[in-house]
């Protein structure tokens, strides 16, 4: 599944849904896990206000903005298991 199809299926703001099952979308389970956790936290059935990326507590956002969510998702989909993604203040800043 390419990035655009993944976004349409699982992260079409503000409608987020974590993938389930054994199909791997990222390059490894080490990067698939945080990808699924992020999307689960933003799921409309879980998040307090998914449109504003607020997961709970009124102001706690999963990311700075929807562009940052897309960048985090893209990086997690492309990241191999020998690298880490650094997210600072709600946006990806380095690999």
Q: What is the pLDDT of residue 59?
A: 81
Q: Is the pLDDT of residue 54 over 90?
A: yes
Q: Is the pLDDT of residue 48 over 90?
A: yes
Q: What is the DSSP string of the chain?
A: --HHHHHHHHEETTEE----SS---SSSHHHHHHHHHHHHHHBTTT-SBGGGTEEETTTEESSSSHHHHHHHHHHHHH--TT---EEETTEEEE-
Its pTM stands at 0.93
pLDDT digits over 9-28, tens only? 999 999 999 999 999 999 99
Q: Is the pLDDT of residue 60 over 90?
A: no
């Amino acid at each position: 599944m390419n990035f655009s199809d993944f976004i349409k299926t699982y992260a079409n703001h503000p409608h987020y849904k974590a993938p389930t099952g054994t199909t791997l979308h990222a390059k490894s389970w080490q990067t698939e896990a945080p990808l699924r956790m992020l999307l689960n936290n933003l799921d409309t059935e879980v998040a307090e206000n998914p449109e504003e990326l607020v997961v709970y507590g009124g102001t706690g956002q999963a990311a700075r903005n929807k562009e940052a969510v897309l960048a985090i998702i893209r990086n997690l989909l492309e990241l191999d298991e020998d690298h880490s993604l650094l997210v600072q203040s709600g946006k990806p800043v380095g690999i």
